[in-house]
Structure 1
């Protein structure tokens, strides 16, 4: 068995307290036995922005900002990799992003593809696409929060060879954790959802979060879980061979049984898909 340990950090960041949030999150992760530690979405900043100016003051460069520096130092000290969410500024544009950082520095940046609610007022939709990255013996893909609603994203990462999907989140729907169990089961991968707790109660509105971070195995079983309001870090062991075995039965293979030629509507714009359906029905 090729083993790889993954874990999540769950807690409540204080809005606008970047240095404090990073210090608290990394302190929670410090004693965790994990090769990969995942922190929540927008962990460095908090979630509910009140203005574009407020976002600009907290947004960071992915290579040189405080999140990159803090994670790089922790990765070197602990000899592990981290994933954490942060508000990214790139060439005057803002993204809801997550970075994968190891002892050598920032390894990858993912920009959230599917923006939720008022995120659309402040952030640009992600433009870097989906990718899988080597972390020791494991192959790791990244999604952020509301990406869970789009099974095509997780399936794409699985088809690209992901063993583990890291999922930094600020989840608000109570069924999202169940959906991530489904993403794990339907793709036979491990999923690591790092959610935050508490609420951001700000002039722009109040948003409460559901906690219940989790590590899920390729059979959809929860290996590690936090409560709704806990501040904690928990980890579990992944069997990478199990994630790479896509056999459902001796004669049935999850990916070789696919019929991609019949799924074209999945990647067609909504209007085109409806026109195609009307032609077939008519």
Structure 2
């Protein structure tokens, strides 16, 4: 039986924005644990960390990327995150360079109080990532957790509407986005990151929550945008955007069930049911199976 608005459970979501340093895995891992503990102390139970947050991002060679990558979930970073998630009773979505045999993936792990839940591999590779990583081959899984159904995307994935639509159709309540946003050509100085606008549009057009955790700083000459945020299912930010330059924990209390309740916009329109599947395929040719929405 569906919960009424008065009895619906709130979930406190946190995006953990910080500056990883390339190659300094233990330092980065320690920073992530420190922020996880701080967010948990503020009551957060679902947390998102940046893309490649334990290794850094701007690799110079594939050999460097390979040396910093780990098995998932058997590597030391996952072991650390599993231990802290169990100790604090939280769920984490964290970016990591995954080594699978000789293949490398820009990945994100989903970890809960009971341990490892699953992996997402970045589907759309950005710029020099194509030199180091294989394109993701796991599609767009949706993970069942005590908080609700969680989808995952990584950075450039959000430029593709299919990323969010497929996950909405599979029943995702929230999409967690580990990311390393960079300035986009044509962006005027001081303007908000294009990614924040894309996130708001995707949340609105799919009636879902989206939580984006970006990094800050400049790494090997590459500037990152910060501006982590949590967007509500109506498309408006409910926390953030964060600073462009500072470490920050962005926190929002959300009722993930509202993502489904609010899809009926009026007496006639429901954003997912109104799709013209006589004109285009229901699952956009993804081959995946629709869920309850």
Is 1:215 equivalent to 2:222 in the alignment? no
TM-score (structure 2 length as normaliser): 0.87
Partner of 2:155: 145
Superposed displacement of residue 264, structure 1: 5.0
Is 1:176 equivalent to 2:191 in the alignment? no
1:152-208 CA-partner distances (Å, limit 9, x unpaired): 11110011111110000000132011100111111111100000001111xxxx321
The worse-fitting range, judged by mean Cα deviation, of 210-219 and 245-254 is 245-254
Separation in 2 of the partners of 1:159 and 1:110?
A: 17
Partner of 2:4: none
The worse-fitting range, judged by mean Cα deviation, of 93-102 and 60-69 is 60-69
Name which of 95, 107, 130 aligns with 1:85.
95
Separation in 2 of the partners of 1:34 and 1:177?
A: 22
Is 1:227 equivalent to 2:243 in the alignment? yes
Partner of 1:12: 19
Partner of 2:291: none
Separation in 1 of the partners of 2:58 and 2:130?
A: 12
Describe the SS at the equivalent of 2:95.
Answer: strand
Separation in 1 of the partners of 2:239 and 2:265?
A: 24
Separation in 1 of the partners of 2:60 and 2:257?
A: 46
In the alignment, structure 2 segments of 5+ residues that lack a partner are 1-7, 185-192, 286-293
Contact 2:25 2:55 survives alignment (8 Å): yes
1:2-31 CA-partner distances (Å, limit 9, x unpaired): 322211000100111111101102212212
Is 1:134 equivalent to 2:144 in the alignment? yes
Separation in 2 of the partners of 1:13 and 1:152?
A: 29
Contact 2:227 2:243 survives alignment (8 Å): yes
The 5 A counterparts of 1:118-267 are 118-172=128-182, 173=184, 174-201=193-220, 206-225=221-240, 226-245=242-261, 246-264=263-281, 267=284
TM-score (structure 1 length as normaliser): 0.90
Quickly say closer, same or farther: Cα 1:180–1:63, change in 2 above 3 A.
same
Superposed displacement of residue 212, structure 1: 0.3
Separation in 1 of the partners of 2:62 and 2:144?
A: 35
Considering only aligned residues, what root-mean-square deviation do their CA atoms show, in Å? 1.7
> Between Structure 1 and Structure 2, how many residues are aligned?
265
Superposed displacement of residue 37, structure 1: 0.5
